[in-house]
Amino acid sequence: MYADEGKAAAVQLVRNAVAYYKSLAVQVRALLTDTGSAFRPKYFAQTCIEMNITHRFTRPSWRSDSIRCRVTVTG
């Protein structure tokens, strides 16, 4: 959990998650997030591209105040 749920924290979350799973010899191939503002910026998309991760969004739900992130791993 991060105290800040902003754009920079979202990028750091992905970087940390990928590093953690890499230490377990697991490759992250896809990332599923909600449509929160932290996951929409171009530099978040660029981070996913640089890490060769497919980024997809869940369908919008009635709760716009929650930010969720799920990392899909294989291996």
Q: Which residue has the tokens 């990392």?
A: 71
Whether 16 shows a pLDDT value over 60: the answer reads: yes
Q: Is residue 33 predicted with pLDDT exceeding 90?
A: no
C-beta of residue 30 within 8 angstroms of C-beta of residue 56: yes
Given this model, what pLDDT does residue 19 score?
95
Q: Say what percent of the chain tops pLDDT 70.
A: 76
The pTM score is 0.68
With cut-offs at 50, 70 and 90, classify the pLDDT of residue 28. very high
Of 74 and 16, more confident: 16
Q: What is the DSSP string of 15-66?
A: HHHHHHHHHTT-EEEEEEE-S-GGG-SHHHHHHHHHTT-EEEEPPP-S-TT-
Residues 6+ apart with CB under 8 A from 50: none
